[in-house]
Amino acid sequence: MSLDLSGPLPRELAPGVHWLGQCQSIPYNGQELPSYSSAYLVIGEQSSALFDQGMTCDAGVIQAQLDTLLTAEAPPLRHLFISHHESPHTGGVGRFLERYPEAIACGDIDDLHLVFPEFADRLRPLDPGDTIDLGGTELRIVGAVFRDMPYTRWAFDTKRRVLFSSDGFAYTHLHSDQHCGHLAEETVGSLDLDDMTALFAFAAFHWTQYVDIEPFLMQLDELLAELEVEIVAPTHGLPFSDLDAVLPEIRKGYRAGSQLGDQSLVDLASVDGPA
């Protein structure tokens, strides 16, 4: 199957919050399916922030999208927020630090001073509870409920009430080309949200095989309610704004993923989805 992966991005999810990136073709169940490693541009009144920086192969596309959005009248890009130090989330950070000399990389900077010693003075660790003031809104750093690395951080835009959830909610990591650039609720009924949640919960959050999943789902619901989240924007998967339509499928998928036992990811990807 030949896929058109150019996609309709960037897409504005809320005034000043833009979904960036492109799809990559991933083999699954005898098919080639698209998959996002998205980035999100958050524009404030005084400065802008980029949540995650995509795969290295995405950097040129994200750069072109930033060039379109960050016009001379737009607040400058000052913050490159890193949810966790893994290539699908930091692939473009070096390029963007060079392109935007006033920007700093912040969040889970881990050992980036060893990777980019020339930018060591532009790295700032941020922990849950810290904030980034963009003017008119803040990015509040939030501890991740579901994480694939110990220090994964999420972020929350206090004005537009958008939760940037990194690997969390990676339910539509793989989708069909007709779903590229769509919100998750626009695919309900035509995309197996629960199966994809189970598959990638098993892959990225394998620890869920060994714990009671219910307290984590309760913690997730409490966080969404406390923050009064209106939009969820994951790095992998499709964003969504209809929480009532999508969250039941997410919960179902997490529960199913925690019961997959000793199967391998290869086994799961070679059959008709998770059991």
For 9-36, the pLDDT digits (tens) are 899 999 999 999 988 777 777 777 777 8
Band (pLDDT 50/70/90 cuts) for residue 273 is very low
For 166-213, the pLDDT digits (tens) are 988 876 666 777 788 889 888 877 777 777 788 777 777 878 888 898
Under 8 Å between Cβ of 134 and 45: yes
In the three-class reduction of DSSP (H, G, I as helix; E, B as strand; rest coil), residue 119 is classed as helix
Q: Are strands 17-20 and 39-43 parallel, antiparallel or unpaired?
A: antiparallel
pTM of the model: 0.89
DSSP codes joined into one string, 154-194: EEEETTTTEEE-TTTTGGGSS--GGGTT--GGGTBTTB-HH
- What pLDDT is attached to residue 5? 43
- What pLDDT is attached to residue 203? 75
Each domain of the chain, given as residue ranges in start order, spans: 11-269
For 235-254, the pLDDT digits (tens) are 988 899 999 999 998 888 88
Upstream peptide bond of 76 is cis (omega within 30 degrees of 0): no
Is 11-269 assigned to CATH 3.30.750.200?
Answer: no
For 73-88, the pLDDT digits (tens) are 899 999 999 999 888 8
40/167 Cα distance (integer angstroms): 14
